[in-house]
Amino acid sequence: MAEQILYLTELLGLKVYDLKHRLLGRVHDAVLVPVVHPLRIDRFLIAGGSGYSWLTVRHDQISTITLDGISLSDEQLVPYHPDEYMLRLVRDLLDQQIIDARGRKVVRVTDVTFDILREGGRDVLHVQEVDIGVRSILRRIMQGWLPRRIIRSLQRRIPPNSISWHLCNIVEPDPQRRLRLNISMTALENMHPADLADIVEELSHEDREAIFEAIDTEVAAEALSEMDPEMQAQIIESLETEKAADILEEMDPDEAADVLGELEEETSEEILEEMESEPKAEVEELLEYDEDTAGGMMNTEFVAVHEDATVADAIDALRQNPDLIDTTNTIFVTDIDDRLKAALPVARVFLARPAQTLSELIAIEEPIIHVPAAEHSNRVVELFDKYNLMTLPVLDEEERLAGIVTADDIISRLRQK
């Protein structure tokens, strides 16, 4: 019975025969050209008797592929020449780290499984999955010592551990080659930011930079927010200044300020120069505060409305800040001089009549808990613990609302300790 699958380990060293079944050489590598076909092995690299020069066998020059060898239908072979569009499986994939998009982890490739298919009257190989377990290690250890079919028989007792090819993400530092190899970052961009952050932290410095240069800026900002300050600084320092500025613009101002605070002053200033004026001003304002104060912890993104406004006005203010809807649980009420008057839970506002004024709701609210911008961070943490707060307003010297500290900020601060 003809084989339906073939492993890269078995393919290496497989004999290649010409039309008269004379030995031409042995396979040394298999090449995928993703821009031509995402799965089909496009060509094989074989070495003759001397082993010093390689020849290229195209997929359409092959008649059959079995464990006994590869038979050709066309023996007009040409010397191998490197091509940046090629993904050589032995050189570029075997024993390399890749990202398992479903398992959300970094793994090392120990073998590759191919499907043997018939196309146009000839056998072709399609990449099915990469192998990462003990079973594939056994194949590699025994290859060359035992016949291929006996190795297959022995490995049946070991459960396979593999990842479907479409769930594998290759990390390629060179952006031009990444484009030529048609490497997509969609799987990574669809991950939860915390999972992506965990993966990036397992990679080398060079590979981290490659990921952050390639993924969507908003996704990069969310993932960066999940990392510890030292790692954040390392990644931002490794990026081009313009790219670093774009990512920081997508972060909450307090988080961006924390990252810049970890950098050398010269590097921080260069990145600030590349930022847009509005986020730049917010971040610069936060950088003036000591990191161990409420001002250093606070975020300047919040929803505030005037005390004479109606419930409908407050709801409209929320609609005008769609980026804050998922994280906003409090609407702050200020007077004409931006002094804080009250903090209203969003749920209370939504349950009130649209025409009702916020001042009417304020009358039945409890006194608000707040801190000055200079308050020490330890005191801020104590207040969150004592009063089970979700949000704590921070006031400047003139008692104007300068920013807010959220429960997420407290968790981040405690995690860093």
Please state the domain extents for the chain: 5-164, 185-288, 304-416
| Cβ pair 110, 56 in contact under 8 A | no
**What pLDDT score does 324 carry?**
87
**What pLDDT score does 364 carry?**
61
Burial class (CB in 10 A: 0-12, 13-18, 19+), 133: middle
pLDDT tens-place values along the chain, 417 residues long: 467 999 999 999 999 999 999 999 999 999 999 999 999 999 999 997 665 689 999 999 999 999 999 999 998 999 999 888 999 999 999 999 999 988 889 999 999 999 999 999 999 999 999 999 899 999 999 988 999 999 999 998 899 999 999 999 998 888 888 888 888 889 999 999 999 999 999 998 999 999 999 999 999 999 999 998 889 999 999 999 999 999 999 998 989 999 999 999 999 999 999 999 999 999 999 999 998 999 999 999 999 999 999 999 999 999 999 888 888 999 999 998 989 999 999 998 999 999 999 888 886 656 789 999 999 999 999 999 999 999 999 999 998 999 999 998 898 888 776
- For the domain with range 304-416, which CATH number is right: 3.40.50.300, 3.40.1580.10, 3.10.580.10, 1.10.10.10? 3.10.580.10
Beta bridge partners of 400: 339
Cα gap 248→217, rounded to integer Å: 9
| Cβ pair 215, 189 in contact under 8 A | yes
| Cβ pair 345, 352 in contact under 8 A | no
**What pLDDT score does 52 carry?**
66
**What pLDDT score does 1 carry?**
46
| Cβ pair 406, 391 in contact under 8 A | yes
Q: What's the CATH number for 5-164?
A: 2.30.30.240
**What pLDDT score does 361 carry?**
85
**What pLDDT score does 363 carry?**
64
Burial class (CB in 10 A: 0-12, 13-18, 19+), 10: buried
Topology of domain 185-288, CATH: MgtE N-terminal fold (1.25.60)
Helix axes 241-250 and 205-214, enclosed angle (nearest 10)? 70
